Amino acid sequence: MKKLSWAAAVLAFAVLAGAGYAPAIAAGGTPEKLCTFDVKELPEVSGITPSIRHKNVVWVHNDSSGGAVIYALDLSSCKIVSRLTLADMPARDIEAIASGRDAAGNPVLWVGDFGDNQESWPFVRIYQVPEPKTLTDQTVPVRAWRFAYPDGPHNAETLLADPRKPQLWVVTKALATGVTYRLPALPTIALGEVWKEPLVAQQVGETDGLISDGAVSGDASRFVLRDYLSARIYSGLPPGKPIVSVELPTEQQGEAVTWARDGRALLVAGEREGTLWSVPLPPEAWTKSAQDAQASANSDPGSTFDENGSESESPLSFGALIGVIALGLLIVVGLAGARFFRR
């Protein structure tokens, strides 16, 4: 991909701000460094997505320098626990990855080989990788479809996937305004096959400029698009409606974003840094599942839930008990005092 320094990103953001494109920033919380990964093997992380089969795992990849390989990282340590080499795929410029399901409901990983900095390729590719049940280093067969844009070649770094079925969107990357395209239904092919007649994507909306990645939440109630400085949360599926934007950690070149499993934070990473960040979101940006869980907890005044989701004693309930005891003591003391003064 074309390299963009942090300073250049700031300049571009300033240009967009002057043009009225800069989003309002909402405070969600202080970003936290979760762990660090090996920058020698992962120097240019350009995409990230959670595993469906493996609870504490995310999948990442390098961009054009990395070849047809995707990596599984353990979220507690950022250790690489699996390397999948995509068999017989050219990988001209892989720029995005997303989690989803195939037509039969099986977990898959979608990989976008559609970086086109010169905007010159007549078609680009989408790969479907069945997510393995066992995390080992292995070479895996994949399905591949060629697709094209209705208005000519574009550069893109963002792939969005419905987590429930094989529906995909691609967001192009441009300085001022990007475009969201919906891919048509993917024809059925066998593992290892390539659909060679390019499918034609359909434009469904416009986005901000310099979009470097995005992701749909696990419950399909939200999606996020990021640039080099901030992330914007949208309701529903693309094109969606913007809810709020949040500031992201300062990175040399932030290129990857996805949702935390609890729907209350984003996971982000960039190139040449090796840091995986957790970025808390304001409640209005939480997924619907996260909001519903919070509402359910709030509706039960006798209990709260700790960070692991288990029920614990509510401080409010304990405080109320102390208050009742104190009130009882005051009544007893008051009655005794009244009797004393009547004597």
Q: For 47-86, write each residue's pLDDT tens digit.
A: 999 999 999 999 999 987 678 999 999 999 999 999 999 9
Q: Which residues pair with 223 in a beta bridge?
A: 216, 234
> pLDDT grade, residue 229 (50/70/90)?
very high
Q: Are residues 180 and 251 in the same domain?
A: yes
Residues 116 and 79 in one domain: yes
Does residue 304 lie within any of the structural domains? yes
Same domain, 112 and 231: yes
Strand partners, 153: none
Provide the pLDDT confidence category of residue 187 given band limits of 50, 70 and 90. very high
The pLDDT assigned to 91 comes to: 87
Whole-number pLDDT of residue 209: 95
Q: Does residue 309 or residue 121 have the better pLDDT?
A: 121
For residue 215, give the CATH number of its domain.
2.120.10
pLDDT at 299: 84
More confident call, 237 vs 341: 237
0.85 exceeded by pTM: no
Range of the domain at 231: 6-282
Q: For the chain, how many structural domains are there in total?
A: 2
193 touches 144 (CB < 8 A): yes
Residue 225: which pLDDT band, with cuts at 50, 70 and 90?
A: very high
Residue 199 lies inside a defined structural domain of this protein = yes
Per-residue confidence band for 90, with pLDDT thresholds at 50, 70 and 90: confident
In the predicted structure, residue 227 carries a pLDDT above the cut 80: yes
Residues 265 and 315 in one domain: no
- Among 282, 309, 332, give the residue marking a domain's end: 282
pLDDT (average), residues 37-43: 94
Is there a single domain that holds both residue 210 and residue 107? yes
Compute the half-sphere exposure of residue 36: CA atoms within 13 Å on the CB side of its CA. 6
Last residue of a domain, one of 253, 282, 311: 282
Residue 340 confidence class, pLDDT cut points 50, 70, 90:
very low
Residue 318: the pLDDT is 35
- Are 320 and 213 found together in one domain? no
Calculate the average pLDDT of the chain: 85
Same domain, 179 and 305: no
The answer on 182 and 35 residing in a single domain is yes
pLDDT greater than 50 at residue 3: no
Residue 1: inside a domain: no
User: Which of 282, 310, 332 is where one domain is finished?
Assistant: 282
Q: How confident is the model at residue 301 (pLDDT cuts 50, 70, 90)?
A: low
CA–CA gap between residue 269 and residue 291 (Å, rounded): 25
Please choose, from the candidates 246, 252, 243, the residue with its C-alpha nearest in 3D space to the C-alpha of residue 266. 246
C-alpha to C-alpha distances, 264 to 40, 75, 217, 296, 329, nearest whole angstrom = 31, 16, 10, 15, 44
In a domain, 262, yes or no: yes
Residues 174 and 239 reside in one and the same domain: yes
- Residue 304 pLDDT > 80: no
Mean pLDDT of 12-32: 56
User: Do 254 and 322 belong together in one domain?
Assistant: no
What does the pLDDT average to over 18-35?
A: 67
| 141-152: average pLDDT | 98
Same domain for 198 and 305, yes or no, is: no
269 vs 27, higher pLDDT: 269
Distances from the Cα of 252 to the Cαs of 29, 66, 338, in angstroms?
Answer: 21, 19, 74
Q: Does a structural domain hold residue 291?
A: no
Instruction: Report which of residues 137 and 331 the model is more confident about.
Output: 137
Q: Per the structure block, which two tokens stand in for 151?
A: 């208005």
Q: What is the pLDDT of residue 302?
A: 54
